[in-house]
Every structure is written in C-alpha cells, then in structure tokens.
Amino acid sequence: MQEDAFQRVSPQGKIPVLEDGALVLSESPAIVTYLAERYSSAENRLIPDSVLDRARYFEWLSFISMELDATSIYVLRRHVGLPQIYGDAPNASAVARDYFARMIGSAVTRLSKEGPYLLGQQFSGVDILMTSCLDIAERYDLTVPEPFKHYRERVSQRPAYATAIAANKPQ
Ligand SMILES: N[C@@H](CCC(=O)N[C@@H](CS)C(=O)NCC(=O)O)C(=O)O
C-alpha cells in the first residue's frame, strides 16, 4: 500500500479503492453504494428505490461506518493490528471494545423487528458492509449479540458471499 502505483490511486494509502473505467473511488460506503446504483438489477436491487427505504439505507450506512467501524473496529485495527505504525494504546482499545458492544447492542431490536436483513426482506449494500464489520469483529474477539451472530450466518450462507470472498483473495 506504500508503493507509488497504489498511492497514485489511493493517496491516503488505504484499502479499499475501486477503479471502474475512468472512475477511481475510495471509502467503502461510497464504493458499495456506487456498485449498487451502477450494477444491481431490477430483480436484485442492492439499494432501495423508495425515499423511506433509502433513508433507512443511509442511516445504516452511517451507523456502520461511523459507530461500528471508525470509532470501534478501526481503533483496534490501528492499536492491536498495526501497533508498529500507530502505537500501542490499551486504554483506547478497551474503550473501543466497550463502545462496539454498546453500539451493536443498540441495533439488536431493529434487526429482530425488521430482519432477516437490515432493511427487512430486501438484501442490500448495508448488509455487505455490516457483514464485513462482523467478520472483522470476530477477528478481534469483539462482543457480538446472538441475533447478529445468526444474521452473519444467514448472510454468509448466500452463494454470492462465498463468490465475493473467493474473488477477494489475491491469485
Ligand atoms: N473510511 C475508510 C477506511 C479505510 C481503512 O481504514 N482501511 C484500512 C483497512 S485495514 C486500511 O487501509 N488500513 C491501513 C492503515 O490504516 O494504515 C473506508 O471506509 O473505506
């Protein structure tokens, strides 16, 4: 990620970054939403059409990227996963763990009420982002409530999940 070729498309030196024709796009929520708008089909819409459902989509998008990722998971990624770059910060890591547990706990009622997916019956881009967070949460041994463990199992049984995971592995 420090190499010139990569930094030319990602000056912040971070993954993910998407190249699609002339478009170069970073930030996972933007990438998932772009792919959903550009490529999902009428039978398999990854972003809802109605204004109300889109409001929920963007609410989940912000919750996942800010409350679960930026303020919890990424803190652990920095200080537990990459201490040689970002330093050791046991207090920040402990607070991030507690915060993740509180935030994911706060989402349980909505998941149980609306499931099987975050927007109800329709699988969407926010399920991709949530599942990715839950995959990393397991890696860092974060507290995940049972309904979200079952949710993750449900999503990861989708054939498209297996295809995406396989495609994500470098040859
Ligand atoms: N806000 C960005 C965050 C991207 C991000 O932090 N990616 C991590 C993946 S582990 C990374 O590149 N870390 C390397 C680093 O922080 O130096 C997004 O949602 O895409």
Per-residue pLDDT tens over the stretch 120-129: 999 999 999 9
What is the atom index within ligand 1 of the atom nearest the CA of 74? 6
d(CA 160, CA 27): 22
Which pLDDT score, from 0 to 100, does residue 1 have? 83
Q: Which atom of ligand 1 is nearest to the CA of 78?
A: 16
* Nearest atom in ligand 1 to 14's CA: 12
- Tell me which of 1, 9, 14 to substitute to probe ligand 1's pocket, judged by most ligand atoms within 8 Å of the beta carbon: 14
pLDDT level of residue 114 (50, 70, 90 thresholds): confident
pLDDT of the residue at 44? 85
**Domain spanning 51-163 has what CATH number?**
1.20.1050.10
From the CB of 28, is ligand 1 less than 6 Å away? yes
Q: At what angle do helices 28-39 and 51-62 cross, to 10 degrees?
A: 150
Q: For all residues of the chain together, what is the average pLDDT? A: 94
* pTM flag (> 0.85): yes
Q: Is the peptide bond before 159 cis (omega within 30 degrees of 0)?
A: no
User: What is the radius of gyration, based on Cα positions, of the chain?
Assistant: 17
CA distance 157 to 153: 6
State the greatest distance between any 2 C-alpha atoms of the chain, in Å, as a whole number: 48
Binding site membership of 14 for ligand 1 (Cβ less than 6 Å) = yes
* Domain assignments of the chain as residue spans, ordered by start: 4-39, 51-163
Place of tokens 């059409």: 49
Pairing of strands 23-26, 17-20: antiparallel
Residue-level pLDDT at 102: 97
Name the residue among 133, 130, 156, 30 with its Cα closest to residue 165.
156
- Going from the C-alpha of 54 to that of each of 49, 50, 120, 129, the distances in angstroms are 7, 6, 12, 15
Average pLDDT over residues 144-165: 95
Where residue 41 falls (left for φ over 0; alpha for ψ -120 to 50; beta otherwise) is beta
Q: Which residues pair with 24 in a beta bridge?
A: 19
**pLDDT at position 88 over 80:** yes
Q: pLDDT (tens digit, 9 = 90+) per residue, 37-77?
A: 999 888 889 999 999 999 999 999 999 999 999 999 999 99
Atom 15 of ligand 1 has which residue's CA nearest to it? 14
The CA–CA distances, whole Å, from 145 to 41, 117, 148, 150 equal 33, 15, 6, 9
Q: Looking at residue 170, what is its pLDDT? A: 81
